[in-house]
Amino acid sequence: LGYSTRFIAKFLHRHHSTIARELSRNKIKNEYVSISAHNNYLKRRKNSSCSSKYNDVLSNLISEKLHENWSPEQISNALLNGKLS
């Protein structure tokens, strides 16, 4: 309640600019609400990650080649050289 960012940062062992960013990023009507801040974090985190290139089609292809006794190196090289689709 009215503590400075430097005081909060010292208490939490963080840099004061980290606290200032967190407060400015997650204020609602000049008030910090931890639950909504956490939910906002989860949304930002979900949207920031890269989508994986690994999918069911690739999984089945790899599994099929392994059952045909291909080595992982052979599968990898064939995929990288575009010889499998």
For residues 58 and 42, state if they share a domain: no
Give the pLDDT confidence score for residue 1 in this predicted structure.
Answer: 65
Q: Find tokens 């062992």 and name the residue.
A: 13
For residues 81 and 67, state if they share a domain: yes
For residues 58 and 28, state if they share a domain: no
Strand pairing of 31-32 and 27-28? antiparallel
For residues 63 and 41, state if they share a domain: no
For residues 43 and 55, state if they share a domain: no
Domain of 25, in residue numbers: 5-48
- Read off the pTM: 0.53
For residues 59 and 38, state if they share a domain: no
For residues 60 and 44, state if they share a domain: no
Q: Is 52 strand, coil or helix?
A: coil
- pLDDT tens by residue, 15-73: 999 999 999 999 888 889 999 999 999 998 888 877 788 889 999 999 999 999 999 99
CA pair distance 46, 50, nearest whole angstrom: 9
Number of domains in the chain: 2
How many residues can be counted in the chain? 85
